[in-house]
Amino acid sequence: MATWVSTTLRIKDPAKSVPFYESNFKMKLAAKIEGAGETRYFLVRPRDDKTSTFSSDAPGSDAARRALFTRKCNYVELWHTHGSEGDAKLKYDNGNVEPTRGFGHIAFNTADVQESCDSLEAAGVDFQKKPSEGKMKTMAFVKDPDSYWIEIVRRLPETNFKEEFNLSQTMIRVKDPAKSIAFYTGHLGMRLISARHFSDFSLFFLASLSPGDAPLPPFGAERDAVLKNAWGPVLELTHNHGTEHDEAFSYHSGNADPLGFSSIGFVTQDLAGMCALLKHDGAAFADAQLASALGAVPGKVEVALDPDGYAVKLIAKGAVL
């Protein structure tokens, strides 16, 4: 079994991206890892009464790095290659423009979409879609400094979070939902929380649940409400109908030109056992070059590939990187 812990995006300038998430969405820099020519920034949106848990250690300290993969939380990992901020031609791919669609967005829930978007607009945040635009008035899309999309979604009225925002989802597009759902709910242990079907596309929402979490109600309105009432995020799989029958069709993983989205990460108690089970069931793993580029470390981090070729980091619980 494994627990989903991270979504990794390449960024051009951490001096812009880290403050963007901190000031606009009240995320906290829990840790940063310095590598050869790169730095990885791990941002988390804790409950306000848990903020001290993530700010007691300096983000670059050994203590922060030791705690990183022991906590029950979900990080947005921002991956910076040193020098990229000075490259005027560099632009990362946000995954939403043909022919390189794949990764879609991350999302934050809020009580009042319009009010929160007014504040974001006043702060100078760029919009892909304002609440007043289009048919859906209960959601919006803003863009971060690298133009990755961030969906702003309305919480259920009865949700009693006092915090303005909570990290609520990561969305990726999938070719064949039957294969993707089996991959994520199999050895990775996610649960299918909800499925929504429309005329030409479907949405599937998965989450990592803990043994202490309340049992899921049967599929229906009550179970759908779990999405809007939860503090932690779900993994949203978007399926455009018919792609599963097109042998030539594929989505862009973000790890070939043009680069952008990198990976999602899972922590596991038994890394070797997890990898063995996935390989036994025919799961693909990144080749040596890609695995090294994404930060694989023998005994600590391995890189599997999901059915669409998205990178899935498997991280040993408590690993210090």
Domains observed in the chain: 2-91+255-316 (3.10.180.10), 103-245 (3.10.180.10)
Give residue 218's pLDDT band: very low, low, confident or very high (50, 70, 90).
confident
pLDDT digits 0-9 by tens, 139-170: 999 999 999 999 999 998 888 899 999 999 99
3-class DSSP string for the chain: CEEEEEEEEEECCHHHHHHHHHHHHCCEEEEEEEECCEEEEEEECCCHHHHHHHHCCCCCCHHHHHHCCCCCCCEEEEEEECCHHHCCCCCCCCCCCCCCCCEEEEEEEECCHHHHHHHHHHCCCEEEECCCCCCCCCEEEEECCCCCEEEEEECCCCCCCCCCCEEEEEEEEECCHHHHHHHHHCCCCCEEEEEEECCCEEEEEEECCCCCCCCCCCCCHHHHHHHHHCCCCEEEEEEECCHHHCCCCCCCCCCCCCCCEEEEEEEECCHHHHHHHHHHCCCEECCHHHHHHCCCECCCEEEEECCCCCEEEEEECCCCC
Beta strand 103-110 with 75-81 is: unpaired
Mean pLDDT (whole number) for 110-116: 96
**Does residue 288 have a pLDDT over 70?**
yes
The per-residue pLDDT for 2 is 96
pLDDT of residue 61: 86
Sorting pLDDT into bands at 50, 70 and 90, what band is 135? confident
Average pLDDT over residues 47-56: 71
Give the model's confidence band at 55: pLDDT under 50 very low, under 70 low, under 90 confident, else very high: low
Rg over CA atoms, the chain: 19
For residues 136 and 179, the answer to whether their CB atoms sit within 8 Å is no
* pLDDT in the model for residue 212: 72
For residues 161 and 230, the answer to whether their CB atoms sit within 8 Å is no
- Which residues touch 133 (CB under 8 Å, ≥6 apart)? none
Mean pLDDT of 115-128: 98
Looking at residue 52, its pLDDT comes to: 63
Q: Establish whether 247 is a catalytic residue.
A: no
Catalytic residue among 151, 158, 222, 247: 151
Mean pLDDT of 181-190: 95
pLDDT computed for residue 179 by the predictor: 98
Check residue 51 and give its pLDDT: 67
Q: pLDDT confidence of 57, banded at 50, 70, 90?
A: low
CA distance linking residue 115 with residue 130, whole number of Å: 11
Q: How confident is the model at residue 91 (pLDDT cuts 50, 70, 90)?
A: very high
Residue 82: Cβ within 10 Å count:
13
| pLDDT value at 72 more than 60 | yes
Whole-structure pTM value? 0.96
Task: Determine the pLDDT at residue 287.
Answer: 98
Contact status, residue 303 vs residue 296, Cβ threshold 8 Å: yes
Nearest residue to 141 (alpha-carbon basis) of 132, 129, 153? 129
Mean pLDDT for the chain overall: 94
Instruction: For residues 1-18, give the mean pLDDT.
Output: 98
User: What is the token pair recorded at 210?
Assistant: 């803990």
Query: What does the pLDDT look like over 253-283, one tens digit per residue?
Result: 999 999 999 999 999 999 999 999 999 999 9
